[in-house]
Structure 1
Amino acid sequence: MRPQELVGTEVYDPKGERVGKVATVYLSEESQQPEWVTVHTGLFGHKESFVPLAGAQSATDGLHVNWGKDKIKEAPRIDADGHLSAQESMNLYDYYGIPVQRAGEPGGQGQRGKMPQDRQTQKQARGGQQGRQDEQVMTRSEEQLKVGTQRVETGRVRLRKHVVTEEQQVTVPVSHEEIRIEREPVDPRRAGKTEIGEDEQEIVLHADKPVVAKESVPVEQVRVRTEEVTEQQQIRDKVRKEQIDVDQPRPGSVK
């Protein structure tokens, strides 16, 4: 793993417990390979603890080291100021039980006082700074248009009824009585004797009169319900993106 790829990586102990995130990477002066890292530990991650990378393995979830979380948190307190002195590196070797190679022995992982901090690995995580001596790394970013939906109120529908008066005309059959005079001769044999005089009789006439009555009856039900209607809308917006240009010297311009 390159130094710039280690910065910000999650660190786990052999039990799988999370220790913290890599803050700084220290390189071996001999091999220029990552040899130590500092990990954010303590309350709110304000403390940085040194962890050796000997035997560490990189996995999809992060970096797995060979020392327990408590062991790492109790490591000697050393300020990550860009350089480890010989005494500081000796203290770390002794604490983690890593053999220290003596003078005249081949240099390697245990070399003390040979581990300047690669500060630029942190800068590379943010893009635009130098990584190894033979390469330049710059991160290009761009905006991406992400569109979602949010349900909002667009209107309200009320059911309301009111009274309207209208005129109706209905034809009703009515009957009435009328006087009809019928005259017929009297049989003398049945008439008998009568006296001449005045007489009066009264006949009552009847007629039908329309009578109006009103009654409220239910005639109709009105129901309102909602239904989902899906339609397609085109969303258009402007996004920004970075472009990287390489300025190369023109042939013959370098002397």
Structure 2
Amino acid sequence: MITREQIPSVLDHPVYDIEGNKIGEAKHVFLDDVTGRPEWVSVKTGLLGTSESFVPIKDASVVEDHLEVPYAKAKIKDAPNVDVDAGGHLSEDEEHRLYEYYGIDWDAAWQQANEPGEGGWARSDTSMKRSGDDAMTRSEEQMHVGTERQEVGRARLRKYVVTEEVQQTVPVRHEEVRIEREPVTDANVDDAMSGPEISEAEHEVTLHAERPVVETEAVPVERVRLDAEEHVEEETVRGQVRKERIEADTPDSDTDR
């Protein structure tokens, strides 16, 4: 257990768990109502240290510039959330919940705190104060805003095949029969007289025509890829913070603020 004299060296210093992992920074130390000894320490955890988790300080120890507690980090971060009143005091119900969560015997701890002698202090009619002065501490909450990266959607490329009708004009040629007649002249008389004088004969000509032939081939035409582009936008975040106010009642006036 740490002493009251060690409290200043604990506050705003790192707190490590039983495995040597850093949990966060020590924010507040709460004293026992009866003994006045340190009983709980609140540790700032979460994003930017915006959450406070309570840890029993009975078996904690100060090592160099940090505090070591005999509990695992995950155990501490899942501790019950409790509300502390304006005087920095834990209610009996909230303290009971914390004792139960950490597996500490509430009755045994209470009995030990009330035993006279070195182990504890006897309860008396004189109420014990948590501090040695008569000043009142005013506290207020501060809002810390950060960002976290999360998945909002996915984009993907998918390739599939479609069939389209295309049209293209191509010239085609074909042959047609044409009858040519020429008179017999001195130039072709020999050819004209080469056959029999009167006879029957046939002459055949083969005709040709072109027709369109279609064939396809796959050729690369472009490359397509997805790229994530980051844009920065300004977004206003609103929240509620609590602030303490101190009023003084004096004989001179009804209320002095």
| TM-score of the two chains, using structure 1 as the length reference | 0.49
Q: Normalized against structure 2, the TM-score is what? A: 0.49
Considering only CA atoms, is the larger Rg found in Structure 1 or Structure 2? Answer: 1
